[in-house]
Amino acid sequence: MTCAEARERMLEAERTDLSGATDSELSLHLRGCARCRRAANRILEAERELWGALAAATPGRGPDEALGLVRRRARRRRWAWRVAPLAAAAVLAIVWLGRPARVEQSARSPTPPAAGSGIAVEAPPGRSVAVFRSDNPEIVVIWYF
């Protein structure tokens, strides 16, 4: 068997053939060819790593444990759906009761315009107003406080 033929068969060969433990043509070639033996050893090492990774990824629970876990999570979820409306009602009650009370103001008459300003300005209820004239007759300052 040539090295090219051996490399072609290596990817489809059994692990025992790759390790040189059988009397197959590939196994006999690998015992006599160092270069092909190194390639076969790399394939075997990659295969061991793959099996190790697959074993680590396999779930540690059996089917009964997995079903129990799913049931417990479903119960927890149902409980949350029952409590969620109560929690929402409690939050709304806190917001509603915690809001500041509306202060009723007595109806006052509007603030009379500043004397001698020539401009009539009405202040909103509960506020005052001041009117200032400047040296420029087109500029008037109206101040609400």
pLDDT at 41 over 90: yes
Say how far residue 40 (Cα) sits from the centre of its chain.
45
Average pLDDT over residues 96-114: 61
* Half-sphere exposure for 143 (CA within 13 Å, toward CB): 6
Q: Report pTM.
A: 0.40
pLDDT tens per residue, range 2-27: 999 998 888 888 888 888 888 889 89
pLDDT the model gives residue 102: 64
pLDDT tens, residue by residue, 116-125: 556 777 778 8
Helices marked H in 3-115 — which ranges?
3-10, 15-18, 25-32, 34-57, 63-98
Segment 108-129 mean pLDDT = 66
Tell me the Ramachandran region of residue 23: left when phi exceeds 0, alpha when psi lies from -120 to 50, beta otherwise: alpha
Radius of gyration of the chain (CA): 45
Q: How far apart are CA 17 and CA 38, in angstroms?
A: 14
Q: What percent of the chain has pLDDT over 70?
A: 80
**Whole-number Å distance between alpha carbons of 133 and 117:** 7
